[in-house]
Amino acid sequence: MPDLFDLVVVGGGVIGLSVAWRAAGRGLRVAVVDPAPATSRTAASYAAAGMLAPVSEVTYTEEPLLRLGLASLERWPAFAAELTRASGHDLDLRADGTLDVAFGSDDLAALDDLAAFTASLGLPAERLTGRECRRLEPMLAPSVRGGMLAGGDSWVDPRRVTAALLAALGRAGATLVPDRVTGLLTDSGAARGVRLAGGGGLSAGRVVLAAGAWSGSLEGMPPEVLPPVRPVKGQIMRLRSPEPVLGRCVRGAVHGSHVYLVPRGDGGLVLGATQEELGFDTRVTAGGLWELLRDARELVPGVTELEVTETIAGLRPGSPDNLPLVGPTIMPGLDLATGHHRGGVLLAPLTADLCANGDGADPVLADLAGLCSPLRFAGAAPPRPPGTGPVENTPREQR
Ligand code: FAD
């Protein structure tokens, strides 16, 4: 029997939909399986703020991630333009940079170090005084003592992106299957499609597993191909103001903990985010929201006057080394596109291109593919089932 599809993508978050759209654009017969594509309230893509900020997010130990982030940021304008043409949706992509600000002397010293590090890498970042920061963003607190402007960083509305991808996939003739995958169809040790919770299956030449935080514990998968991906909870809130409060993304270290504010084109403001290792827990807690508001008020005092329109918690797909897992596994016919942790929106265009470059025809992509090959974990112990290990509450990070 011929395969029903060339490609079945498991998961309809920003990653799965981007991979599927790229493949459909190459003329492949594509299906996406997800019980709630683009709209699952616990999926990371639905909660995400949408910062495309590899420069202001850079850390000393994560240069490979920076390389991936810069390569993907470069792709974003063309990806967005093409997606807007294909879907008719505006994505609210903006490129006014990210302003990182500091208060205490420790935060300021950390910012100085970061500015020196970014300069050493030749990245576009400018160190500013407190006054220069307030000139750019008048709503900032008078106590802001300095900042760094990462002029190339951008942001986008992730919900608009996934809605646009769904529309573009529909127009490209891809099939959306509103069901849950419960295992693989296999033949002689190779993946030949997926089983569906609703019964039956879909045969395909290739399967891409892009089920976000659920990728590491998907039922019915052979344990040796389950990726070491774990859920990392992020609480975030959406606010509304009659007048725009900020002109660009503002992030800050408030006495060691991080908070960010991302403006939306419609006057909204996204305030995030906690970073918690609590398995698949997606409760929005008073403590989480209190911390976000406490720190955001230090940055932009007027924030407490704004209307709260939404509070939500999403699950990031975390990987052991914070790098995504994209590419072939040890099982023929099964690829991964998961583990994007805090940067899946940023990394979506690159991930889609990496998956489309399976034959390695583009040497630049082939080089980047080496950084995120799932084979680096082949033979590693499977991840501990969520909730069974020691619970650790890490300090909040940028996303
Ligand atoms: P998800 O969006 O989680 O999608 C996974 C999909 O798989 C879901 O739709 C789910 O229904 C489906 N699925 C699960 N199990 C099955 C199954 N068995 N069968 C079929 N389908 C299944 N990134 C940035 O780049 N910039 C940001 O500013 C940013 N901010 C963030 C803020 C928060 C609070 C959070 C939580 C994340 C943030 N991220 C950000 C990270 C980013 O959201 C993620 O890296 C990205 O969304 C991951 O996308 P995904 O498609 O892999 O996973």
CA of 3 to the centre of ligand 1 (A): 28
User: What's the pLDDT score for residue 120?
Assistant: 87
User: What's the pLDDT score for residue 104?
Assistant: 82
Which of 107-111, 201-205, 241-245, 393-397 is the least confident region?
A: 393-397
User: What's the pLDDT score for residue 114?
Assistant: 86
Specify the CATH superfamily of domain 95-152+231-318. D-Amino Acid Oxidase, subunit A, domain 2 (3.30.9.10)
User: What's the pLDDT score for residue 195?
Assistant: 96
Domain spans in the chain, listed from the N-terminal domain onward: 5-47+160-229+320-391, 95-152+231-318
Pocket test for ligand 1, best of 22, 42, 45 (most atoms within 8 A of CB): 45
Terminal CA-CA length for the chain: 46
- Cβ of 340 closer than 6 Å to ligand 1, yes or no, is yes
3-state secondary structure of 205: strand
Structure tokens at 209: 């597993």
pTM listed for this prediction: 0.94
Give the CA count within 13 Å in the CB-facing half-sphere of 288: 26
CA of 130 to the centre of ligand 1 (A): 35
User: What's the pLDDT score for residue 207?
Assistant: 98
pLDDT tens, 2-52?
679 999 999 999 999 999 999 999 999 999 999 999 999 999 999 999 999
User: What is the Cα–Cα distance from 197 to 269, expressed in whole angstroms?
Assistant: 38
CA of 122 to the centre of ligand 1 (A): 31
Averaged over 368-380, what is the pLDDT?
Answer: 88
User: 5-47+160-229+320-391 adopts what CATH topology?
Assistant: FAD/NAD(P)-binding domain (3.50.50)
- Cβ of 22 closer than 6 Å to ligand 1, yes or no, is no
pLDDT tens, 139-195?
999 999 999 999 889 999 999 999 999 999 999 999 999 999 999 999 999 999 999
pLDDT tens, 329-352?
999 999 999 999 999 999 999 999
The label of the residue with tokens 């924030």 reads 303
127, 169, 126: which is closest to 146 by C-alpha? 127
User: What's the pLDDT score for residue 359?
Assistant: 82
Among residues of the chain, what percentage have pLDDT more than 90? 79
| pLDDT at position 398 over 70 | no
pLDDT tens, 271-327?
999 999 999 999 999 999 999 999 999 999 999 999 999 999 999 999 999 999 999
pLDDT tens, 346-361?
999 999 999 999 888 8
CA of 149 to the centre of ligand 1 (A): 28
CA of 386 to the centre of ligand 1 (A): 17
- Looking at the DSSP bridge assignments, the partners of residue 113 are none
- Cβ of 338 closer than 6 Å to ligand 1, yes or no, is yes
Pocket test for ligand 1, best of 55, 340, 372 (most atoms within 8 A of CB): 340
